[in-house]
Structure 1
């Protein structure tokens, strides 16, 4: 499984627009092949920061997601509205049972 985390910090004036774009992006992405989960959350300690958490079946599914024109458009538009450059981290992850720890 591929785990993706990312953040966008909005300006106060652009927050509502970035949030709406983010929710639309998340809802669309959930229907893509290989998407296990895709969510956006507001940071409780930094209310202008949105945090994305995604799970993808494999690298090919994530690569296809990055190739979707709407995904590229979202990244470009949200990035242009952001107060600072967005971040993204991509991990090759393996689920671990809490009982195994």
Structure 2
């Protein structure tokens, strides 16, 4: 499984647009093959920062997701509305038994 984390900090005047675009992106991504989960959360310490947490079946599914034109448009839109740089980290993970 591939775990993706990312974040964007909106400018105060762009937060609602960033939030709207992010929710649309999450909803669209959840319909894609290989998407296990896809969510966006507001950071409790910085309410202008949105944090994304995603799980994908494998790198192939994630590559298809990144190739979707709407995904690229979403990233470009976020960058234009952000306070600073966006972040994106990928992790190769496997579930372990409960401790």
Using the size of structure 2 for normalisation, the TM-score is: 0.98
Residue segments in structure 2 that go unaligned for 5+ positions in a row:
none
Aligned counterpart, 2:84: 84
Tell me by how many angstroms 1:96 deviates: 1.1
Partner residue in 1 for 2:75: 75
Deviation of the 1:97 alpha carbon: 1.8
Unaligned runs of 5+ in 1: none
TM-score by length of 1: 0.97
What is the root-mean-square deviation of aligned Cα atoms in Å? 0.5
Deviation larger for 4-13 or 90-99: 90-99
SS in 1 for 2:26: helix
Moved over 6 A (4+): none
